[in-house]
Every structure is written in structure tokens, then in C-alpha cells.
Structure 1
């Protein structure tokens, strides 16, 4: 029996997953994992952070890929948030498949209501598309039209346990992209 059932609370917990793609990266002579942000990325990341702050979501946890461009994006974006969530740098997010990302979501502790993932395409776009069983307004059309560019984010709401996250479980409630 779950804690909610023991307490008599039969309403599933409302949760949000925010998927942020890293900002624009440069292409110097380094390994892909070590690519830093380009000048445009260093300008877009704080803007994305301000837009994340405007959502009013108080993230309980941020999972960030270990790649240099995602770490740098997060470092620039997090300063714009009203409070800094606990951050875990997760190596499994680098080059993660859709299945890998869903598995990470399924491992999230149930005391976390709102989760932020900072990662890469094609995985971030595929995850947003897969989780969005429904959508509010034109968010899905805009997301798919734009191809989930760098520094873009999607907000997906769902109810229930993190272990229940699967295809079509959520509602795409917001999509934002710079230069849109």
C-alpha cells in the first residue's frame, strides 16, 4: 500500500517534467563530449533560465548530462531561477536513447514533484513527443515545426508515480524556444 493510500489520499500527485535542450554549442577540435557553448549559446542559456523562472515551477531535482555544453547551459540558466534545485550530473543522459531517458525518469524518487532534464537531441525531442499524449493549445505543433532547437524547453504535466512514466502519459502544457 502506498503512502497516499495509507493517508487516505486517493488523488494522484500532479507532477511536471521540464525538458531543456542545451544551448548552441561550438565545434572546436575537441571530443563531442567536451564541446563548449558557442557565443550564441552563452547568450541564449540565461534567457532560457529566465523563461524557466517565469513558469513558476520549483524544481525538486535537475538531472544534467555530463557533456560540457549541458553543464555550461545549466550553469548559466540556473542563476536566473529563484532557487537552485539539487543537481545530479548524469552520464547516462549523454547520447541517451528514448528508452534510456524514460528509464531515468522511472528512477526518480516520488518525493520529487517537478523534475528538470538538461540534455541533447534527438533524445530530448523524442522524449517530449513520446510523453505528450495530449497537448494544450498549439504547443505540440510549434515544437514539431521547430524541431526542438538549442536552448528550447518543453513542460509536460502528468499524474502518478515516476515509475508509471511511459509513452503518452502526459500533457504538453508549454513549449518555448529562443528566436521563435
Structure 2
């Protein structure tokens, strides 16, 4: 693949989690979260993007979100459960993306706020249609995702390099 071909990054926040008496890392999805994760998976499928790699936080709620969402996709990408995505800053998430091999075209990162929303804001130098207005208006609620596009190698992922192509969030 030529590095001049557009690459896609989907930044996906885990679905709504429950609050049982367990450590934060072990919090499972709430019932609404299970429903929203599957709906988000269908919306991801509707984008028509073939995902090559999923980088998922090791937290229970992100793993459950991805398991429910990926079931809705026609192609199941390779999934890597990445400890560094849990409690990461946007800069730490950029470092993770910078390590993606250049043969990978499209990546989904399943993580947590505020880092996922912050990363979408930081990477999006431009935005198509009303995607930025929708993201600014809605914030980045549980199960939301932003679709960004950029050209160049993964090592070139840095602030302002991408275009915010689409944004989706579940109804509240």
C-alpha cells in the first residue's frame, strides 16, 4: 500500500458501564451499554470501512464493547488488547498509533474519555460536513465514535493531521 492512500482512524469510546463494587478496570457494561455497543457496531458497518486492526483497552468495559460491536461487522479485524490505552492521555494514544505498521490501512481504537474525545479534537485539523458541530454539541458520550482520515505513515500521526469525516453517538 502506498502511504499516499488515505488511512482511517476510528476513535470509539466504550459503551455505558455499570458501577458495581469492583476496581475501575473491571467494571462491566450496563444493560444499556450492551445495547448501544451493538448499535454502534451496526453504525460502524454502515460506514463501509474495512478495519484492519483494532487496538482495545484491556478494561472489561472496552473489551465487552468491542466484542458486541465487532459481531456486527462483515470483516473481523485483528484485535490487540493494549494496556497503554487504559487511562491514557491523548499524547499517549498518539504514541500507540505511531507504532502501527504501515501495511495497516484502517485502525479502530476502543478506549476511554477524556482521552478519546481529546484525541479526536487534537487530530482533526479540518472537518467534513457538520461532523465537528455534532461532536461539539454532543460531546463524546458512551458508545460514540469519530471517524478520521489522513494521508501518510502512522509515524506521522500528530495534532492537526486528520480530517474529521464522521461522528456518531447513540440517542439519549
Q: Give the alignment's TM-score, normalised by structure 2.
A: 0.97
Q: 1:126-164 deviations in whole A, cap 9, x for unaligned? A: 000000000001111111211100000000000000000
Q: Distance in 1 between matches of 2:12 and 2:45?
A: 13
1:112 equivalent to 2:109? Answer no
SS of residue paired to 1:110: coil
SS of residue paired to 1:82: coil
Q: Distance in 1 between matches of 2:164 and 2:150?
A: 9
Residue 8 of structure 1 corresponds to none
Aligned-CA RMSD value = 1.1
Q: Which of the numbers 145, 153, 173 marks the counterpart of 2:137?
A: 145
SS of residue paired to 2:16: coil
Residue 50 of structure 2 corresponds to 58
Q: 1:153-179 deviations in whole A, cap 9, x for unaligned? A: 000000000000100000000000000
- Runs of at least 5 residues in structure 1 that lack an aligned partner in the other structure: 5-10
Deviation beyond 3 Å, 4+ runs, structure 1: none
Q: Distance in 1 between matches of 2:75 and 2:124?
A: 27
Q: 1:16-42 deviations in whole A, cap 9, x for unaligned? A: 000010000000000000000001001
Residue 90 of structure 1 corresponds to 82
Residue 157 of structure 2 corresponds to 165
Q: CA deviation at 1:13?
A: 2.4
1:18-37 aligned within 5 A = 18-37=10-29
SS of residue paired to 1:115: strand
- For the 8 Å contact 1:13–1:161, the answer to whether it is kept is no
1:17 equivalent to 2:6? Answer no
Q: Distance in 2 between matches of 1:166 and 1:33?
A: 28
Q: 1:58-78 deviations in whole A, cap 9, x for unaligned? A: 011000000000000001001
Residue 115 of structure 2 corresponds to 123
Q: 1:68-105 deviations in whole A, cap 9, x for unaligned? A: 00000001001000011000000000000011000011
Q: Distance in 2 between matches of 1:109 and 1:116?
A: 14
